[in-house]
Structure 1
């Protein structure tokens, strides 16, 4: 009888740990998504100011460099930042 109770406790504990881990991952995913959206909004606002160079736009939100900014921007818009700047935002 005691073994079945201990087995039930262990299963419940394992299930709780799994749920807790998944919830932590979910929270981290949500936080990354929100941070990404905020960064994207900042980028688009900065791109509207032609006085700010594209390389400076990449510095302000904290990208590792202009290449990382261009890659992110192109993934959102399917065009390079320079092409958007030429046409106007």
Structure 2
């Protein structure tokens, strides 16, 4: 939707309103998708191939501290990254 401005055709009126509200939190810059965080800072949305490496580096890497899943998720957010299942994926790691 963000690149073509075309809504999914199967949405109801209320569904369209909810979709547009969620979409307003995202922006594409330089070909990359970003989400606007609660503090107004843009968080880069990672692709599914980038997620495992990011979790591993934050948890096990040279600056990692083998923290709990939620602590790893918070650290990733502070680094400026986001994906929808961030908390769940970090807790499963």
With normalisation by structure 2, the TM-score equals 0.31
Bigger helix fraction: 1
Computing the radius of gyration from Cα coordinates, the structure with the larger value is 1
Larger strand percent: 2
Q: Give me the TM-score of the superposition, normalised by structure 1.
A: 0.32
